[in-house]
Amino acid sequence: MSIQVWIDGEYYPKDQAKVSVFDHGLLYGDGVFEGIRSYHGKVFRLKQHVDRLYASAKAIWLEVPISKAEMSQRIEETVKINKLTDSYIRVLVTRGKGDLGLDPRKCPRPTIVIIADTIQLYPPEFYQKGLDVITAATPISHRENLNPRIKSLNYLGHILAKIEGIQAGVHEVVMLDPAGFVAECSGDNIFVINPPDHKSGGKKILRTPHANAGILKGVTRDAVIELAASGGYDVREELFTRYDLYTADEMFLTGTGAEIISVVKVDGRTIADGKPGPVTLDLLARFRELTKTGG
């Protein structure tokens, strides 16, 4: 059976699912979205994703025309209708159909699209051997231009960074904020592992860029922070630079699509022994257990 896509209250087969060419989501990237996963028939951290979707919409002065409860219901229903045990869900809320001008008031009703399908960002073998990444010349947008906390449909900056990685022959890129601090990857959050210091009480240190560096606060990122804290690691959200990537004991990325994947080389510098490290593998195992319950 063809994948069924929910659009504004109706289901359409994948090859018939369409929006208007006058939709401002298409014309101007005016809208927000969420990427969500289901595991073992359970949608992972649905409330957190829906809350972030509505926060993003509020930040761009977009009123979602259904309640959070109904949105959650429609997401779960779309997964069930497509009979997907493990799936990737994409929820979009656009400004809706309007005219060819920029004025959002000319769009009387937002468009909602819910897609449930499958995804594979990286080849399976990369989870065993890790990724080789580079730093992109394209920076994250300035917070006062398009705040990275808003998960908007305008991803062109990240796509331009991704193109740099493609041209360099790597699968992912590190993006910096305008001040030069490490922010995030084209589609993932970043973590590094450091040895204990005088403040950590003997615990290994898990570091991830602070929100002030200009990042999207990922739902998987937050889950990993919780798992690390409960697993006995010293978790720190800090500003740091590429030097801290080059000299880390371990580095890994997190994201809804990527889940948790190790990085073993950055800008030609091998991270530690060039293999996925024990902390990364421990957190991946903990994350796998968490997904069995829906988070």
Selecting among 42, 106, 129, 151, the annotated active-site residue is: 151
Q: Count the Cβ atoms, other than its own, within 10 Å of residue 126.
A: 18
Taking phi over 0 as left and psi of -120 to 50 as alpha, with beta for the rest, 182 belongs to beta
Cα(156)–Cα(249) distance, integer angstroms: 32
Question: Is 151 one of the annotated active-site residues of the chain?
Answer: yes
Give the residue among 248, 237, 185 at the shortest CA–CA distance from 208: 237
- N-terminal to C-terminal alpha carbon distance within the chain: 29
Question: Can you tell me the distance from the alpha carbon of 119 to that of 129, in angstroms, rounded to the nearest whole number?
Answer: 20
Return the closest-CA partner of residue 135 out of 190, 187, 172. Answer: 172
CB 157 within 8 A of CB 186: no
Residues labelled as active-site residues: 151
